[in-house]
Every structure is written in structure tokens, then in C-alpha cells.
Amino acid sequence: KKVLIYVDQKRRDSYPAERIRKELKKCGINVKISGKISFLPTVAYWKPNVIIFGKHDGFHGDWLRNIHDSYIFSLGTEQGTTYKSFLEKTWIQGHVYPRLPAHEFVDCFLVYNEFTKSYLDSKLKNTRVEIIGSPRLYSKKLHKKARPLKGKNLTIGIICGEDKTNFSTVLNFFKQY
């Protein structure tokens, strides 16, 4: 088996792509990671069995419309939202583009939470949707306290655990620190 992982934004997507690649290699799977310039030539020449992709709208959707004989996973970029209006805008309508997202060319959508799965199941009939959580957890070890940025009056934290999709619960959690 051959798996191709597409990296749309190098800074954001490289680390999670590398983590996925390492895990798949442990299973003896041949994995390549490609960016915008090398993606289409890699698909044409290497002929992957599986492609792990991100957003499937805009020109990315056009790419997917022209790929055959590969199983396409679309890794959700909804960021764990619980707002139907946001999902409608980002998933169903997509970015402003002459064509709608290429839903019908995705074999399986990988999403953050049950809310998104339920919403997509109701909108995209006969579509496979699986909950995987966030693939963008950048630390191997989770911390109970947010770490402040040096020299900045700003703290960035990632919250994991029960009911992480309820904004008021998340806000109350961060107020503890």
C-alpha cells in the first residue's frame, strides 16, 4: 500500500503529517508527503492507493475531481466548532470559488467531533464520516497549565477533555489559571 499525505501550509501541516507518516511506516506502509508543487505529479507518477487531504474546496476540489483509483480521506478543518452556520459556510459552501466543494470525490471525511459528524451526516447523504479528534496536537505530552509566551502578554493553550466543544466550559477552565 502507498499513502500520500498532502501538506497545504508547511508551517501548520508538516508536523501532524510527519506524525501520521511515522505511525503508518511502523505498519510497513510506504508513505510520501507532498506540497502544492509536487502533489499532482506525485499522484500521476506514484499512483497512491490512499490520499490524506485537507480541505476539498477551491482548486483543491478541482484536483480531487481528476484523481481516480485512490481512496481519499479529507481531514476536517472545522476546528471543532459547534456552530451550524460555520459548518454550512466552511463545509457545504466552501471558499468563494466557481465550483462547490468536491464532496462526492471524498471517500471518507475525518472530523473533530460528534457535532460535525451529525451535521455532515444530515447534509451529505451516503457519505462516510469518522471522528478522529484533532490531528494538530503539537505536543507529545499534554500540560495542565498553559505556558506563557516569552516576552509577550499572551498565552496560548489547547484544551482536551470532557465537553471541550462548549465555549463557556473552556473559558471557565482557562479562567482558573
Classify burial at 146, counting beta carbons within 10 Å of its beta carbon; exposed 0-12, middle 13-18, buried 19 or more: middle
What is the predicted pLDDT for the residue at 160?
55
Rounded Cα–Cα distance for residues 13 and 27 (Å): 22
Distances, alpha carbon 100 to alpha carbons 34, 55, 105, in Å: 24, 12, 12
Q: Do 159 and 174 touch, CB atoms closer than 8 A?
A: yes
3 — phi, psi (to 5°)?
A: -120, 130
Q: Do 52 and 75 touch, CB atoms closer than 8 A?
A: yes
What is the predicted pLDDT for the residue at 76?
75
What is the predicted pLDDT for the residue at 146?
55
What is the predicted pLDDT for the residue at 163?
55
In this structure, the strands spanning 108-111 and 128-131 are parallel
Q: Do 108 and 73 touch, CB atoms closer than 8 A?
A: yes
Q: For every one of its 177 residues, what pLDDT tens digit does the chain have, with 9 covering 90 and above?
A: 899 999 988 877 888 888 889 889 999 999 999 999 999 999 999 999 999 998 899 999 999 999 999 999 998 766 677 888 888 888 889 888 999 999 999 999 988 888 989 999 999 988 899 888 776 655 555 555 555 556 655 555 555 555 555 556 656 655 655
What is the predicted pLDDT for the residue at 30?
96
What is the predicted pLDDT for the residue at 41?
96
pTM score of the predicted model: 0.76
Rounded Cα–Cα distance for residues 50 and 3 (Å): 5
Q: Give the strand order in the sheet containing 30-34.
A: 30-34, 2-6, 50-53, 71-75, 108-111, 128-131
Distances, alpha carbon 38 to alpha carbons 10, 33, 63, 167, in Å: 13, 9, 12, 39
Return the residue matching grid coordinates 479529507: 74
What beta strand segments (E) does the chain contain? 2-6, 30-34, 50-53, 71-75, 108-111, 128-131, 147-148, 155-156
